[in-house]
Structure 1
Amino acid sequence: MLALLVVAALVAALVHVYIFVLETLRWEAEATRRVFGTTAQEAATTRPLAANQGVYNLLLALVAAVGVVLLLAVRDGDAGPALVLAACGSMLVAATYLVATDRTKVRAAAVQGTAPLVAVVATLVWLAA
């Protein structure tokens, strides 16, 4: 279960680093605009908001990664699982909110939320064992 937890949390972190890159570094690029369904004008107008959101995604990724490192370094400690649950739980809530507020974003929510869901469940099962 520990291996599944670690892999899922790290995949979740990598997905959120990728989202950070899109939202913060490549927001106005044509390929990114296609992903998010925005026009050039909308992307230019919303760039500061997207960059701010991207930073949040990067921070969630970092918290998940630090949680994994602590989990592997101190297997009996509470900090690692707590950080994984906090980061991946937040990612999962964001994915749920995305699909709940816009049914056309099911695919994006699945990409954003599947690995965090697996990480949360695996962490809870690992803690219960």
Structure 2
Amino acid sequence: MVDKTVNLLVIDDDDINIFIIKKIVEKTDYDVKMLSKNNGQQAIDYIKELIENHAELPHLMLIDINMPVLNGWEFIEAFESLNIQTPIDMYMLSSSVYENDIEKAKTYKTIKGFISKPLSIEKLKELINDILSK
């Protein structure tokens, strides 16, 4: 395995879901630095700060759809307007069972897929392995 820290940004307003993802990350045995933001606006502000400071961007982002201030879709729109050239694996992570949300995720060039909550350890390992293999 490649010796690399994977930077994970979780954008979700549900503290329980964030806690679960943190526990799943710990069980992967990968070197993952996880940070969470409670809404899309906080995440956009954080990413802009990273860019301004020439800091490393997240390798993986898990984005909830339904959040206050700036929801997942609004976050994606704002993120895409930043024209970031660094590839970031971005996934919608939602409890939504609406087919239109799954289809909408496919319309964004920056979104690699739609994951239904709860995130499984197997799925997270798959996402991390995908990043490490690049």
TM-score (norm 1): 0.25
Structure with bigger strand share is 2
Q: TM-score, normalised by structure 2?
A: 0.25
Give the helix-richer structure, 1 or 2.
Answer: 1
Which structure is larger by alpha-carbon Rg, 1 or 2?
A: 1
Higher relative CO (Cα under 8 Å, sequence separation at least 6) belongs to 1
